[in-house]
Structure formats: structure tokens, C-alpha cells
Amino acid sequence: MTKKLLFQFDTDPTPSVFDVVVGYDGGADHITGYGNVTPENVGAYVDGTIYTRGGSEKKSTAIFVGGGDMAAGEAVYDAVQKRFFGPFRVSTMLDSNGSNTTAAAGVALAVKALGGDVKGKKAVILAGTGPVGMRSAAMLGKEGAIVAITGRDLGKTQKAADAIEKRFGVKVEAIEAKDEAARKAAVAGANLVFSAGAIGFELLSEENWSSEASIEIVVDYNAQPPLGIGGIDAMDKAKERHGKLALGALGLGGLKLKLHRTLIGKLFEAADQSFDADEIYALAKEMA
């Protein structure tokens, strides 16, 4: 039987152990990881995947692009796609820093909790200039929500909003929010509030979201205390709190892991599949 080989192209110096474990759990027979992969050096790696097997055996080779930097991962992923031609291609997946699978799980579960329709609802993503926040903004925008992201610096936040529009065709408002008071003002009138900030920072206190009548659901991507949204629990999975729904990082983490594993399995079903944000979110909605 042809072995299912997964090649992990990581933009960091050392390939992610997390991605290796999930890769095996997803069905790969063997994983080979390469660190410090760039658009300039990835070509030789890709050639090794596309010229060694033919016919039905080619589907048993796949590429996973990861690392801590989504922009760097996107550049490598694009370079991988450009190396393919005709039948000389294998299936690929992009999930730098777990951004695609994490955002897809969070948004899919939030949309499901609100009845499957968020068109016209206002969504605010606190500290939304990172990869998880930006992917969440894009997915919510494609669902028809009116989306804003906040950041401490307006220039950086606007740059992130512009990047979302360029990549996904979704307009996103950029809001400068340097402190708790500014973040409270940013979520006024919002229906969905997401927290996508760095570990160790509470972005919104319990008092400042529980008292906002418009908020229907709060979603926090941080599992390590203090959580980004005060007054919820990392295990919350559409749990009612203060008349609103709460979704914590571990509450959405089950779907995130199942999604990642399922995608690894799907890589080996055909030789021409590509799983980036849109494809990953579509599967997350089905699984949610």
C-alpha cells in the first residue's frame, strides 16, 4: 500500500510539533518537516513531491504550510501553487499559526449559535490585526455581517483592514482602541464581539460587555488566563451568561482540532485539492 506522506513546510526555524501531532492523528503515515521555508527555497521541495509519484499514487503525497507568521505562510503557499502545472501537483493546506482552522471554528460556531444567519449584524473583533482576527473578520464579512476590527494603532489597524479587503473582497472598518474605555465604546451597538488578542491581556471586562444590551454573543480565542473577555470560561460553548451567549477557546477548540484532522484526511483523497481560508470555513460550517 502506498504510504500517505505529508510534507510540512514551516516558515519558522523549527516545524511545529502541534501540527505534526495533528497530522498523524489526521491519517498521515509519515510526516517530514522543513523549517525556514521561504518562497525562494520552496521550489526544490515542491519538485520532490510532484515528480516522484504518478497516477492514483500521487494523491498519497500532500503539503501542509505552517509557521507562526500568516503573511509568510501565504507567500510560501502562493509559491507552492505557482510551482504546479498540469498533472504535476499535489493537495495542499495553509494553516499558519492555526489561524484558518481556529477562526473557522470560532465563526462557524458563533453563526450556528445565532441561528445560522448574521447578515446585517454588527461584529467587532478586538485586537483584530493578527492572523486569527483578520481571518475571522473576513469570514464574518462573507456571511454578510458588518465588521470592524480594533487595534492600538490606527495605521496598523487600517493596514490590516485593507489587507482583508484586498485578499477577500470584504470591507472592514478599522477602529483605534488603545484602552478599555475605547474598546467599550467600540463594542457599543455590536451584536457579536470577538477577542483575538495576545495571551495575558483582558481586553474587555465583564462589566463592559454584560451591560451592553445589543451584544448577543461573545467569543474569546484565548485559553490561558486572564482571558481576553472577562467573566466567561474557556470551556464555554454557547453558554448563557448575562442573557448573552459565551464561547471560550476550549469550547471551540474541539471543533478546531476535529476540523484540522479532517482536513489532513481530505488531503489524501485527491491530488488537486487546496485548503485555504474559504475551503476550511466551508467545511467548518458543515461540521459545526
Residue range 29-41: average pLDDT?
98
Number of residues that this document lists for the chain: 288
Task: Tell me phi and psi for residue 108, to 5 degrees.
Answer: -60, -45
Tens-digit pLDDT profile for residues 232-287: 999 999 999 999 999 999 999 999 999 999 999 999 999 999 999 999 999 999 99
Instruction: Compute the average pLDDT of residues 74-86.
Output: 97
Residues 214-233: tens digit of each pLDDT: 999 999 999 999 999 999 99
Name the amino acid, one letter, at 235. Answer: M
What global pTM score does this model have?
0.96
* Mean pLDDT value across residues 158-170: 96
Q: What is the rounded average pLDDT for all residues in the chain?
A: 97
Q: Which fold has domain 5-94?
A: Rossmann fold (3.40.50)
What pLDDT was estimated at residue 173? 98
Task: Report, as an integer, the average pLDDT of 201-223.
Answer: 97
Domains 5-94 and 102-252 share a fold: yes
pLDDT at 282: 98
Span 134-146, average pLDDT: 98
The pLDDT confidence band at residue 47, using thresholds 50, 70 and 90, is very high
pLDDT for position 1: 82
Q: What is the mean pLDDT of residues 62-84?
A: 97
**The CA-based dihedral angle spanning residues 121, 162, 109, 242, taken in that order and rounded to the nearest 10 degrees:** -50
Q: Are strands 5-10 and 61-66 parallel, antiparallel or unpaired?
A: parallel
Neighbour tally for 61: CB within 10 Å:
22
Reported confidence tier of residue 139, pLDDT bands at 50, 70, 90 = very high
Top CATH class of 102-252 equals alpha beta
Domain range list for the chain = 5-94, 102-252
Q: Cα–Cα distance between 138 and 135 in angstroms, integer?
A: 5
